[in-house]
Amino acid sequence: MDSLSQTILDIVVQYGVRFIGALAIFVIGKFAINVILRLMRKALGKAKVDETLIGFLLDLTNVSLLVLVVIAALSTLGMKMTSFVAILGAATLAVGLALQNNLSNLGAGVLIMFLRPFRLNDFVEVAGVSGTIEKISIFNTILRTPDNRSIIVPNSKIVGDNIINYSVKDTRRVDITVGIGYDDDIKLAKSILNEILERDDRVLKDPKPIVAVSELGDSSINFVVRPWVRASNYWNVYFDLLEKIKTTFDQKGISIPYPQMDVHLKKEGSNE
């Protein structure tokens, strides 16, 4: 009985020491990883590396170092590395088959880092959603919508779809369509529209704004109004122009007609 107790005690002591050692390696390793990541961020910041790339590199480094720490901890527990590598290979294959989408997201994340279709704080439209880029990680990208919602988009969705970057260019063209009645004066309406654009200091002189008749519609004569503005002023100019055009047309007696349809009723058997 004493021999059995001694054996159990030896096993508990042996594996207890290993467990404590493995736990210590994991805790110290995590602490060291955090220190390394802080130093990396500081060094990359001083080197003026783009914030988009910094976030990606930190995520990748964190995952890689964490794997090494786990391997070291398991080795301390007494797991042979040859057996661990075989198990890890089999597990990697199984996880890879189960997480094909995540692996494709990882590959897409690498492509985004190399192709650089957008940066942090760019306003983009990707995978059918629009928003400002808040974070680009190895698996997904986080967008903030204009109404302050957070949208997480898998990187594979982004790479596999059209990407529209509204921030990459300094200027944008505002496109507005305005209709007037057929009885209204075309030249007067065009003169009013040009005058509205000229009085707005946010409208660029070069390229020159365009005001032209674009269509003789069913209910109205349609003008296109196309001024160029700084990208940061786009929506403010767009909304202000719509309001200014409506109020000025009202003051000048220019009508903006409702869509309408003439319906002619004919009695059955009548020749009229």
Instruction: For residue 129, give the amino acid letter.
Output: V
Angle between helices 51-76 and 81-98 (to 10 degrees): 130
Would strands 176-180 and 150-154 be described as parallel, antiparallel, or unpaired? unpaired
Q: In this predicted model, what pLDDT tens digit does every residue of 229-249 receive, in sequence order?
A: 999 999 999 999 999 999 999
Q: How far apart are CA 88 and CA 71, in angstroms?
A: 10
Domains and CATH numbers, the chain: 9-98 (1.10.287.1260), 117-165 (2.30.30.60), 171-252 (3.30.70.100)
Closest CA to 154 of 207, 223, 95, 107: 107
Instruction: For residue 228, give the amino acid letter.
Output: W
Mean pLDDT of 177-198: 96
Comparing 94 with 259, which gets the higher pLDDT? 259
Length of the chain in terms of residues written: 272
pLDDT band at 98 (very low <50, low <70, confident <90, very high): very low
Q: In this predicted model, what pLDDT tens digit does every residue of 115-157 receive, in sequence order?
A: 889 988 999 999 999 999 998 888 889 999 999 999 999 999 9
Q: How far apart are CA 72 and CA 81, in angstroms?
A: 10
- pTM beyond cutoff 0.75: no
Closest CA to 24 of 85, 64, 76, 59: 76
